[in-house]
Amino acid sequence: MTKAEAKRQLRRAMLSRLKAAAAADPCGERSAMLRELLRPILSSDKPLLVGLFYPMAHEVDLLPLLRDYPQHRYAFPRCLGARRMEFRIVRDLTRDMAPAAMGIPAPLPHCHAVEPQELDLILVPGVAFTPGGMRLGYGGGYYDNYLPRCARARRLALAFAEQLVDSLPTELHDCSVPLIHL
């Protein structure tokens, strides 16, 4: 089996596991606990430019950060195709975002685009992680292509216990990220 096939197989199994766990936590208590672990970073009065992602139903919900830490600016990814994405500043989730690829809301064109080196913190999604921070994404390569361009950003991933695995099939282009998990 090739690494790409092993990744696809693991991705399917992990997504099934995550969807079952999400159904058992309809109030999002586990997301709230993970968000609380960001308090030492986000409680600063120094304004940060934070890269977030709009969560799918089985992912950590980071959207309350906009309300809880209004001193910061938040940017969300917008896919440009061919493994390329950009981040755009979002001030109002209703006014500034609309469903895009796979039905996931993305910033509208009127939102200000930011350069990767402008981000102070980027919270990275993933399907599975190792305790050492290796990451299995969704297979598009967008973050693996984008993260190396975020020269000064602190990179973090938040993960549920179900997302942790001992090892992952990795390739040279796969980026690791420091991990915060339950």
Q: What is the pLDDT of residues 108-120, one digit of tens each?
A: 999 999 999 999 9
- The pLDDT of residue 70 is 96
Q: What is the mean pLDDT of the chain?
A: 92
Q: What is the pLDDT of residues 70-99, one digit of tens each?
A: 999 999 999 998 889 999 999 999 999 999
Q: Which range of residues forms the domain containing residue 126?
A: 3-181
- pLDDT category at 24 given cuts 50, 70, 90 is confident
The SS3 call for residue 10 is helix
What is the end-to-end Cα distance of the chain in Å, rounded? 31
- pLDDT category at 182 given cuts 50, 70, 90 is low
Structural domain count, the chain: 1
Q: What is the pLDDT of residues 120-169, one digit of tens each?
A: 999 999 999 999 999 999 888 899 999 999 989 999 999 999 999 999 98
Contact 131, 137 (CB under 8 A): no
Q: What is the DSSP pairing of strand 179-181 with strand 121-123?
A: unpaired
Contact 120, 143 (CB under 8 A): no
Question: Does the pLDDT of residue 2 top 70, yes or no?
Answer: yes
Q: Which residues pair with 159 in a beta bridge?
A: 181
Top-confidence residue, 101 or 62: 62
The SS3 call for residue 22 is helix
DSSP string, 138-153: -SS-HHHHHGGG-SSP
The SS3 call for residue 126 is coil
- pLDDT category at 173 given cuts 50, 70, 90 is confident
List the CATH number of the domain containing 154.
3.40.50.10420
Q: What is the pTM of this model?
A: 0.93
Contact 74, 45 (CB under 8 A): no
Gap between the Cα atoms of 159 and 47, Å rounded: 25
